[in-house]
Amino acid sequence: MDKDIMQTLVPVVLSGGSGTRLWPLSREKYPKQLLPLIGEDSLLQATLRRVDGLQGLTLAKAVLVCNEEYRFVIAEQLRLLGREGSIVLEPAGRNTAPALTLAALAASRDGSDPILLVMPSDHVITDIPAFHRVASAGAAWAAKGHVVTFGITPDSPETGYGYIQAGTPLGADGASSIARFVEKPDRPTAQSYVDAGNFLWNSGLFMLKASVWLTALQACRADILQACQTAWAGLTSDGDFLRVDKAAFTQCPSDSIDYAVMERIAGGQGGLPPAVVIPFSGGWSDVGAWDALWQVLPKDGQGNVVRGDVFLHDSRDTLAISEGRLLACIGVSDLVVVETADAVLVAHKDKTQDVKAVVEHLKRKGRTEGLSHRKVFRPWGWYDSVDNGERFQVKRIVVKPGGTLSLQMHHHRAEHWVVVRGTAKVTRGDSEFLVTENESTFIPLGTKHRLENPGRVPLEMIEVQSGSYLGEDDIIRFEDVYGR
Element (H, E) at 45: helix 43-49
3: pLDDT strictly greater than 90: no
- Contact criterion met (CB below 8 Å) for 257 and 213: no
Q: Which amino acid is at 150?
A: F
Rounded Cα distance between 230 and 191, Å, is 45
Residues of the chain with CATH 3.90.550.10: 3-288
Position 240 scores a pLDDT of: 78
**140 vs 483, more confident:** 140
Position 2 scores a pLDDT of: 45
Position 68 scores a pLDDT of: 86
Rounded Cα distance between 99 and 15, Å, is 9
Buried-exposed string 406-433: b where 16+ CB fall within 10 A, e elsewhere: bbbbbeebebebbbeebbbbbbbeeeee
437: CB partners within 8 A, 6+ apart: 419, 420, 421, 422, 423
Position 268 scores a pLDDT of: 64
What number of other Cβ atoms are within 10 A of residue 280's Cβ? 26
Q: What is the pLDDT of residues 384-433, one digit of tens each?
A: 999 999 999 999 999 999 999 999 999 999 999 999 999 999 999 999 99
Taking alpha carbons only, the member of 58, 44, 54 closest to residue 87 is: 44
CA distances from 322 to 33, 305, 342, 344, 404 (A): 19, 11, 12, 9, 32
Q: What is the pLDDT of residues 26-57, one digit of tens each?
A: 998 899 999 999 989 999 999 999 999 998 88
Residues of the chain with CATH 2.60.120.10: 375-479
267: pLDDT strictly greater than 70: no
Beta bridge partners of 396: 384, 462
Pairing assessment for the beta strands 85-90 and 241-243 based on DSSP bridges: parallel
Strand intervals (E) in 128-285: 148-152, 163-169, 176-182, 199-209, 236-238, 241-243, 276-280, 284-285
468: pLDDT strictly greater than 90: yes
Q: Which amino acid is at 364?
A: R
Position 269 scores a pLDDT of: 65
CATH number for the domain formed by residue range(s) 375-479: 2.60.120.10
Among the ranges given (10-24, 133-147, 440-454, 457-471), the one the predictor scored with the smallest mean pLDDT: 10-24
Q: Quick check: helix, strand or coil at residue 197?
A: coil
CATH number for the domain formed by residue range(s) 3-288: 3.90.550.10
Buried-exposed string 132-154: b where 16+ CB fall within 10 A, e elsewhere: bbbbbbbbbbbbeebbbbbbbeb
Instruction: Give the pLDDT mean for 155-163.
Output: 90
Q: What is the CA radius of gyration of the chain?
A: 25
Helices (H), 306-405: 355-364
Q: What is the pLDDT of residues 110-119, one digit of tens each?
A: 999 999 999 9
234: pLDDT strictly greater than 90: yes
Directed axis angle between helix 96-107 and helix 210-220, to 10°? 140
CA distances from 204 to 118, 159, 170, 321, 371 (A): 8, 16, 21, 28, 26
What burial class does residue 357 get, using C-beta atoms within 10 Å of its C-beta: 0-12 exposed, 13-18 middle, 19+ buried?
A: exposed
Q: What is the pLDDT of residues 325-351, one digit of tens each?
A: 999 999 999 999 999 999 999 999 999
